[in-house]
Amino acid sequence: QEAWTEKTIALNAPAPLKARLFANENPFGPSDKAKKAIMEALPTSYQYPFRSMPDLTKKIADFEGIKEENILMASGSSPLLMAAALYYSKPGGNIITGDPSYEDLPTKATRMGEKWVKVPLTADYKLDLVAMEKAIDENTGLVYVCNPNNPTATVVDTAQLKAFVERVSKRVPVFVDEAYIDYLPDPQGTTLIPMANSMPNIIVARTFSKLYGFAGLRLGYVVTQPDIIKKLSLYTEASMSITATTLQAAIATYQDREYLDAALKKTVTSKEFLYEVLKKEGYTYIPSSANFVLFPIKMEGKQFTEEMMKRGVGVRFWKFNNQEWCRISIGRMDEMEAFATAFKEIS
């Protein structure tokens, strides 16, 4: 699997791909307003963007009803995941995650000597919060919760998650990665940002890379208490890592419902098309709450991925529960059609 990360697929893909469906990007973004804001920011981009960052922080704080001092931004959420991995890891410690889940933070933690405790998902492919709580011991440095979870695109029950985080954060820090929360019907009712704003030991990460379509522009943030912000800031260059153009694009698009709803709608249309293709070919899938779908395949994952790649379609594979899986990101309709054509040939 190591050789098949998103980066290696991107670097080895025969250009151009007909369908780029391996990195959970959003081809319906960034919005026209974001592009216009970037063009307008260019003439003054010789200046350090000292003002733009507090402007964006204030916008986010106002929308969420939280304190500006509880927000730490960086060039994507990855640098903040890394900062948490570095700060909370120590030799002899352990980090608890679902399995499978997003591997970036725990992978970095293991490089710091942390033991990675992988807790299998429930039978319906959700994070098993009960088992994750049971796995905590005196050496646990961090619990990582990815909700919606990548690669399964499943969500846990909000009330259950809130109760879990309330209990667990009294014992150990909890990192809640909400990269895909914008795809849910009620992100405001689901997010743990209000808890992170008012309680200690909780970190919530958000990114503009997904629904906002900023994966290449790079912008993310965490919400947590100022003491943790101070610690995380020691392990990443947050403020000076974001470009003036990206900041202006974010200020122009943050909570732009018109754009966000249109992108969501196109995602749903492509996803429903994909579901139909899979059903017609006799495949099942895990119902998805994000912009990607995980489904069991009837071939070895590496071979499947290579066969798809030969046909100009980039996807990723997983193996767990003694089953090979394909994770396909939701793209434009022409990309989903390219997938369907290739899939029918090899399935």
- Contacts with ligand PLP by CB under 6 A lie at 24, 76-78, 102, 146, 150, 177, 179, 207, 209, 215, 220
What is the nearest approach in angstroms of ligand PLP to the Cβ of residue 179?
Answer: 4
What is the nearest approach in angstroms of ligand PLP to the Cβ of residue 321?
Answer: 20
What is the nearest approach in angstroms of ligand PLP to the Cβ of residue 211?
Answer: 12
End-to-end CA distance of the chain: 22
- Closer residue to ligand PLP, CB minimum distance, 125 or 340: 125
- Closer residue to ligand PLP, CB minimum distance, 30 or 76: 76
Cα separations (Å) of 52 from 58, 240, 266? 10, 12, 31
Per DSSP bridges, beta strands 292-296 and 323-329 are: antiparallel
What is the nearest approach in angstroms of ligand PLP to the Cβ of residue 76?
Answer: 3
- Closer residue to ligand PLP, CB minimum distance, 220 or 312: 220
What is the nearest approach in angstroms of ligand PLP to the Cβ of residue 148?
Answer: 8
Element holding 324 (H helix, E strand)? strand 323-329
What is the nearest approach in angstroms of ligand PLP to the Cβ of residue 83?
Answer: 12
Phi, psi of 328 (to 5 degrees): -120, 125
What is the nearest approach in angstroms of ligand PLP to the Cβ of residue 347?
Answer: 26
- Closer residue to ligand PLP, CB minimum distance, 76 or 106: 76
Is residue 47 classed exposed, middle or buried when 0-12, 13-18 and 19+ CB atoms within 10 A define those classes? Answer: exposed
C-alpha span between 79 and 108 (Å, rounded): 11
C-alpha span between 195 and 225 (Å, rounded): 10
Cα separations (Å) of 256 from 33, 211, 243, 252, 304? 9, 11, 21, 8, 38
- Closer residue to ligand PLP, CB minimum distance, 100 or 312: 100
What is the nearest approach in angstroms of ligand PLP to the Cβ of residue 263?
Answer: 16
- Closer residue to ligand PLP, CB minimum distance, 77 or 277: 77
- Closer residue to ligand PLP, CB minimum distance, 193 or 277: 193
C-alpha span between 318 and 4 (Å, rounded): 10
- Closer residue to ligand PLP, CB minimum distance, 161 or 277: 161
Beta bridge partners of 317: 326
User: Is omega for the bond preceding 120 within 30 degrees of 0, making it cis?
Assistant: no
Q: Reduced to 3 DSSP states, what percent helix, strand and coil does the chain have, rounded to the nearest 5?
A: 45, 15, 40
Going by the DSSP 8-state scheme, the letter that residue 197 receives in this structure is: H
Q: How is 54-83 classified by DSSP, letter by letter? A: HHHHHHHHHHHT--GGGEEEESSSHHHHHH
Nearest to ligand PLP by Cβ — which residue? 76
